[in-house]
Amino acid sequence: MGDQVDFTINANMHSAFLREIDRLRPAVGRADLADPLVTGGIQRRYRFFSDTLRTHHEAEDQCLWPVALARATGEEKAVLTAMESEHVALSRALDSLDGSISVLGPDTDIAAVQRGFDRVREVLAGHCAHEERDAIPIVRRYVTKDDLKGFMERTRSQEDSDLVLPWICDGATQEQVSTTWSMLPGFVRAFVKPMTTRKYQQFSRECGV
């Protein structure tokens, strides 16, 4: 049962979140923040990143950890509870960065914004490594494909959810690209991959990042 669930996409997403921080942080540093078109593009791209990260963590908090917690041993429960508190810490760091990005302009303290990115990256990198190493093996033991339906519905409800798969693949390794698209059945992939990839390319062009 649990061992039939493949969580490769979870790790692929974690890599994409970290890559996105590495894309946005220098973009803020070199941007002309007096130009509203430029700041608008950065804000749009950042909003997608922040929404996708929050949706990912909400789906884990609502649909993964509770299912595993109900079936786990005492030691396993401690790991799963740590996942929830790491998400809270990440959410606080993200709230602060969301605030800085929402008021980007000529008077922005760029170094302070970049420290905000560094803080989110530090908390996120630590959490993702902990989750992949200790929590996912527990989840694999207890969470079935049926349990995952709520998780998938939650992630699909996000605004711009159709940008997520091509975004995960942007800058990813060949293996990450192929394991990401192979989540979809072949006949769906044949239609969805080119359509969403075009949409993501247009989104990137419009954001200018």
Query: Which residue in 52, 54, 29, 57 sits closest to 42, CA to CA?
Result: 29
Rounded least distance, CB 86 to Fe ion, Å: 7
Query: Which residues in the 92-131 window bind Fe ion by CB under 5 A?
Result: 131
Q: What count of other Cβ atoms lies within 10 Å of the Cβ of residue 55?
A: 18
Binding mask 52-71 for Fe ion (x = CB under 5 A): --------x-----------
Question: Which region among 3-11, 109-117, 152-160, 188-196 touches Fe ion (by CB under 5 A)?
Answer: 3-11
Query: What does DSSP assign to residue 63?
Result: I
Shortest separation between residue 133's beta carbon and Fe ion, angstroms: 12
CA 103 to chain CA mean position, Å:
23
Tell whether residue 196 is a contact of Fe ion (CB under 5 A): no
Q: What angle do CA 12, 14, 20 make, to 5 degrees?
A: 100
Let me know how long the chain is.
209
Minimum distance from CB of 57 to Fe ion (Å)?
Answer: 5
Q: Give which of 38, 46, 39 is closest to 21, Cα–Cα.
A: 46
Among 7, 8, 10, 161, binds Fe ion (CB under 5 A): 10
**12 near Fe ion, rule: CB under 5 A:** no
Site for Fe ion, residues 21 to 50, rule: CB under 5 A: none
